[in-house]
Chains A and B, each alone.
Chain A
Amino acid sequence: MSSLSGDVGGLRLENPLILAAGILGTTGASMRRVALEGAGAVVTKSIGVEPRDGHPGPTVVRLGVGLINAMGLPNPSYRSFQDEIDIAREGGVPVVASIFGSSPEEFAEIASALDVDGFELNLSCPHAEGYGMEIGCDPANVEEITRAVRRAVNVPVWVKLTPNVTDIRVLGIAAQRGGANAVVAINTLKAMAIDVESGYPILGNVIGGLSGPAIKPVALRCVYELSGVLEIPVIGVGGVSCWQDAVEMIMAGAAGVQIGTALMGGLEVIRDITSGIIRFLDRKGWSLEEIRGIARRRGSTAPSKEYPLSASSTTSKSFDEVETHKEVP
């Protein structure tokens, strides 16, 4: 039987499937439960400096193709979260703390205070003023915040990137320069929904983030683009709901695959995807390592240059100005 164990972003995981940030991550018990359901690692809800109640409801809109959410980063603050991490660890898999802040100092303050197996920096939430993608669209911020956390801790640091930019590679390179062990791509896409009966935007916050099957092709493209230019691993997330989706992510170059919205259908999806990947690899006689990034090797053109690169108004450096490290196989 094929082995799925390996190194993902500096953590040794039994399988590459990881609970995505913000999903069932408020309590230690729910994270432990997901770990016992077969996840290779779990990521907490994003934790900040002060307690936050989050946005008023509705906080989610369910669509046929996914989900739009605007939770608003509810969290009890890092000062009240170590207990939950300790309980989550009873699940026997690495626990990664997703953290957010408004400055490098805030990120470092939180990271220094938590005892955890790794950090995922939320530089990508699309609907919280002063946080997430509002600061994570600027590569200089991404680099500085990553560096601040990297200096503050001795565990792996992952940087979760927003796709709501012209060129996500610029952000990935900034994270790598800052010392990230991996990037996580992607967070949700900015979206909204309107109630036609009343004309009201449905979400309490008006704007939210789209997740689920609708964004998988975007996530796949981002993972492909990032893995073409980065030396650090890329962890794929966005719309993975079956083993074929996970295999696609890995074939695009992902070292790990996070599962989020698909858990709405039940926690057993993690085990279903894991066993699906194993059956697939066994049937093909392939290893996980062999299929990782295979799409790049099968592709006919040089991927890092196949898209026209325009300078983005949201980025301080264009792609052409930053160094790329990876040879195309």
Chain B
Amino acid sequence: MRFRPANLVIKDVVRETASVSTIRFDRSLDPTPGQYIMVWVRGVDEIPMSFSAPDSITVHAVGDATRALCALRPGDSVGSRGPFGNGFRLTGERILLIGGGVGVAPLAFLGEDARARGVEVTSLIGFRCREDIIFLDRFRRLGDVILTTDDGSAGIEGRASAGLSEIDPEDYSQIYLCGPEMMMIDIIRRCREHASRIQASINRYFKCAVGICGSCCLDPDGIRVCVEGPVITGDRLLESEFGRYRRGPSGMRESCY
């Protein structure tokens, strides 16, 4: 096991949208889709990032660390711990991916892995507007794609859930979810009868990433999301704090609306 942060040299930075970039490293970290690494932007902070491919992460620049990460150039490097956590478990021959915003990134990786194993893939992906769309070509190469935008500038108008009318969840052996929390809980509630077949990759405040600090624990069972997640089944999430509140860096409860 590696104990010190691994040095990852950046090979390529691809600007996907105005605020989203894909950072490709000099090597694959051999992750399972859905796993994450703690990326250390030296001198700034360390943040959890899920993989968008075995050798890349896709970053939405929203805070100091993500902005600093997106400003890095080929040849620069970051430190990394991981891969950590339980990723998506591939089950069955016909799967449905449902993603929103930059949350589609680990799903594209999962879909490609599944396709390589002969699994049939359908994708339902939602974005705020046409300018925010990422990885549409990657999803189209996997199989059927249903696209939604909040403002109707591309695909079906509305949230990702608006695309549910186009499909029957019954047709799929497993449903994989990643995106904003309220989008995910909305989908899980709408597909309640299929909740045991939903695997969702969720966010909580990770500090240690090794399961001891407790900052990411999910009520009411105290699931350590950093090591027992970040992928959690829909039925467990229905019985949890998910979609109602979460905790910030101090441990204080915050609304997730």
Contact = CB atoms under 8 A, between A and B. Distances in A.
Interface of A: 22-34, 45, 51-54, 56-64, 67, 69, 71, 74-77, 80, 87, 193, 195, 197-198, 200, 202, 204, 260-261, 263-264
A54 B207 contact: yes
Contacts of A28: 219
A30 B214 contact: yes
B34 to A, nearest CB: 21
**Which residue of B212, B247, B253 has the most chain A CB atoms within 10 A of its CB atom?**
B212
A302 B159 CA distance: 75
- Among all A-B residue pairs, the 9 with the closest Cβ atoms: A57-B46, A33-B222, A30-B222, A76-B252, A53-B249, A29-B222, A197-B7, A24-B214, A30-B217
Contact of B249 (A54, A69, A260): A54
Given A24-B217, A26-B215, A195-B5, A62 B210 contact: yes
B250 A204 contact: no
**Which residue of B4, B43, B79, B250 has the most chain A CB atoms within 10 A of its CB atom?**
B250
Contacts, number: 133
B51 to A, nearest CB: 19
Contacts of A193: 4
A26 B251 contact: yes
Q: How large is the interface on B (under 10, 10 to 19, 20 to 34, 35 or more residues)?
A: 35 or more
B251 A58 contact: no
16 contacts: A27-B214, A30-B214, A32-B222, A57-B46, A57-B47, A58-B5, A58-B79, A62-B3, A74-B215, A74-B251, A193-B4, A197-B7, A198-B42, A198-B79, A200-B43, A261-B212
User: Is chain B's binding surface mostly helix, strand, loop or mixed?
Assistant: loop
Contacts of A204: 45-46
B178 to A, nearest CB: 22
User: Is chain A's binding surface mostly helix, strand, loop or mixed?
Assistant: loop
A35 to B, nearest CB: 10
A57 B4 contact: no
Interface string B197-232: 000000000011111111101111110100000000
Interface in B241-257: 247-253
B95 to A, nearest CB: 30
A80 B252 contact: yes
Nearest to A54: B249
Interface of B: 3-5, 7, 38, 40, 42-47, 77, 79, 81, 207-215, 217-222, 224, 247-253
Nearest to B240: A29
Nearest to A88: B222
Nearest to B6: A197
Contacts of A63: 3
Given A27-B222, A71-B207, A264 B250 contact: no
B214 A26 contact: yes
A195 B249 contact: no
Contact of A24 (B42, B79, B222, B253): B222
B170 to A, nearest CB: 34
A51 B250 contact: yes
A29 B219 contact: yes
B213 A71 contact: yes
A197 B45 CA distance: 17
Contacts of B210: 60, 62, 67, 264
B207 A74 contact: yes
A57 B207 contact: yes
Nearest to B207: A59
**Which residue of B4, B43, B248 has the most chain A CB atoms within 10 A of its CB atom?**
B4
B42 A45 contact: no
Contact of B251 (A27, A60, A264): A27
B45 A26 contact: no
A75 B138 CA distance: 42
Contacts of B251: 26-27, 45, 74-76
Contacts of A264: 210-212
A210 B219 CA distance: 29
Contacts of B219: 27-29
Given A51-B252, A204-B45, A204-B46, A69 B208 contact: yes
A58 B224 contact: no
Nearest to B9: A197
B79 A195 contact: yes
A29 B220 contact: yes
A30 B247 CA distance: 13
A264 B214 CA distance: 11
